[in-house]
Amino acid sequence: MERWVEETLHSGFRVRLKADRVLFDSETEHQHLIIFENGDFGRVMMLDGVVQLATNDDFIYHEMMAHVPLFAHGRARKVLIVGGGDGGVLREALRHKKLKSVTLCEIDRSVIDLCREHFPDISAGAYDDPRTRVVIADGTKFVAETDERFDVIMVDSTDPIGPGAVLFTKEFYTDCSRALADGGVLVTQNGLPFLQAAELKQSATYFRDLFDDAFAYLATTPSYFGGSMSFGWATDNAKLRKVKPEKLAKRHAKAGGFATRYWSPEVQVGAFALPNYVRELVEP
């Protein structure tokens, strides 16, 4: 008998994915997790009824969350990833050889373990890199208590339901701003602006209270159904989101010119060119 798995994130919109083979389906300590294979999207992971990862298009989200802030900053040496237990953002960040350390703070150890077992190509050895430090903890508590300062903080969170909800609060963003080094950048997963407009608008409002430059950029990941995905952007250095493609290309070449499947200097610049309906959400 065929099995279809339904995504239940949106109140008036449902998507079902055919599960050709279920590899894992159980409750972890914090959430319900299912991993299955699908003919169109590859191997898929869902948490609490929401698609988190699909192997056929993971490169889009992971490249854009990691490379946009790192190439914009240009001098980052110390990075914090909150969430991201699948290891994809960690993998892409570590391609920047000048990074000295990347701390990954994940609340659910089971996500890391299951992804290393069922999605080994997503982290692609990143967890074994000597620059990687894994902290199993609530990300809000970690940023509130750490004495460290990071050049870039990437919040690779689930949507604001379940354990991920606290990662969309003003208190958390305030602690992130404190944990950033001077001129640092905060990037966040901020949902689909067409279907989750209130989420992006609220985060941008908080960012404007805390940072000199608050904005967003977009990328389209097919397995995140409902339109383009928005990434929140916050920094005290307004020049960073306006770096010219020529300079980005030089930074990419200096970093080794590694191959990418979605990110490019031109794509980075274009990602900040927001449609009016999205711009209205992030500007006062």
For the CA atoms of 24, 167, 151, 143, the dihedral, rounded to the nearest 10 degrees, stands at -100
Q: Report pLDDT digits (tens) over 48-77.
A: 999 999 999 999 999 999 999 999 999 999
Q: Is residue 156 among the annotated active site residues? A: yes
Are residues 260 and 185 part of one domain? yes
Q: Which residues contact 281 (CB under 8 A, 6 or more apart)?
A: 193, 197, 200, 201, 204, 216
Check: CB of residue 183 under 8 Å from CB of residue 150.
no
- d(Cα 190, Cα 260) in Å, to the nearest integer? 23
Are residues 67 and 11 part of one domain? no
Characterize 45-57 residue by residue with b for buried, 16 or more Cβ atoms within 10 angstroms of its Cβ, and e for exposed.
Answer: bbbbbbbbbbbeb
Percent with pLDDT over 70 in the chain? 99
Report the predicted TM-score, pTM, of the whole model to 2 decimal places. Answer: 0.95
Are residues 227 and 89 part of one domain? yes
Are residues 221 and 164 part of one domain? yes
Q: What per-residue confidence (pLDDT) applies to 11?
A: 87
Q: Count up the domains in the chain and report the number.
A: 2
> 166 pLDDT exceeds 90?
no
> 168 pLDDT exceeds 90?
no
Are residues 107 and 34 part of one domain? no
Catalytic residue among 58, 86, 108, 156: 156
Q: How confident is the model at residue 97 (pLDDT cuts 50, 70, 90)?
A: very high
Q: Report pLDDT digits (tens) over 172-184.
A: 999 999 999 999 9
- List the CATH number of the domain containing 46: 2.30.140.10
Q: Report pLDDT digits (tens) over 236-274.
A: 999 999 999 999 999 999 999 999 999 999 999 999 999
Are residues 127 and 232 part of one domain? yes
Q: Report pLDDT digits (tens) over 194-234.
A: 999 999 999 999 999 999 999 999 999 999 999 999 999 99
Q: How many CB atoms lie within 10 A of CB 138?
A: 17
Q: Which domain holds residue 39?
A: 4-54
Are residues 137 and 34 part of one domain? no
Last residue of a domain, one of 54, 71, 89: 54
Are residues 86 and 227 part of one domain? yes
- List the CATH number of the domain containing 74: 3.40.50.150
- How far apart, in Å, are the Cα atoms of 154 and each of 118, 180, 205? 24, 11, 18
Are residues 115 and 16 part of one domain? no
